[in-house]
Amino acid sequence: MKKILFVCTGNTCRSSMAEGLFNYIVKNEGHGLEDFTAVSAGIFAFEGDGANPKSIKVLKEGYGIDISSHKARKITNSDIEDAYMILTMTKDHKDTLVEIFPRAQGKIRTLKEFVSRGKGDENSVGHFKWDIPDPYGMPEEVYEKCAQTLKEAIDMLILRLKEEKGL
């Protein structure tokens, strides 16, 4: 089984939603990617925290996906070693992981960087177009937008993985 590791800060919003979306789509829509699974972790996660209630609600109501049993995990060496690829939510997450785990640099990308084949650039406020902003503490609409952004990126990820497999 090839593991895709989604990484964000606390593993309660973005990466947990990405994990839920990816696994649901692969399981329920096939795509020939049944040999892939997603897991998630956070760089500064508090072990055992549940997924954010707004993340749970947005995925359940908008996509029929239940992530209510998710428990936050801090990223470990074995996560890095076991991952087929590591997809972060921001360039800062990527840079942090490369600094901590330099030997894994070749398999660490931001999610949007990977699906856009590295074609991203810095905007006027120093955020990269391939960053997925953190909805933590924001209104539910921001979580909805985040989930939509993640869904679009994961749809593109699935296309890229299918290309790699020749499907």
Active site positions, annotated: 8, 14, 134
Cβ atoms of 13 and 49 within 8 Å: the answer is no
Taking 3-state DSSP, the helix, strand and coil percentages for the chain, each rounded to the nearest 5, stand at 50, 15, 35
Greatest distance between any 2 Cα atoms in the chain: 41
Q: Where are the alpha helices (DSSP H) in the chain?
A: 14-29, 53-63, 77-82, 91-100, 111-115, 140-165
Which conformational region is residue 30 in: left (phi greater than 0), alpha (psi within -120 to 50 degrees), or beta?
left
Cβ atoms of 12 and 53 within 8 Å: the answer is no
Cβ atoms of 39 and 157 within 8 Å: the answer is no
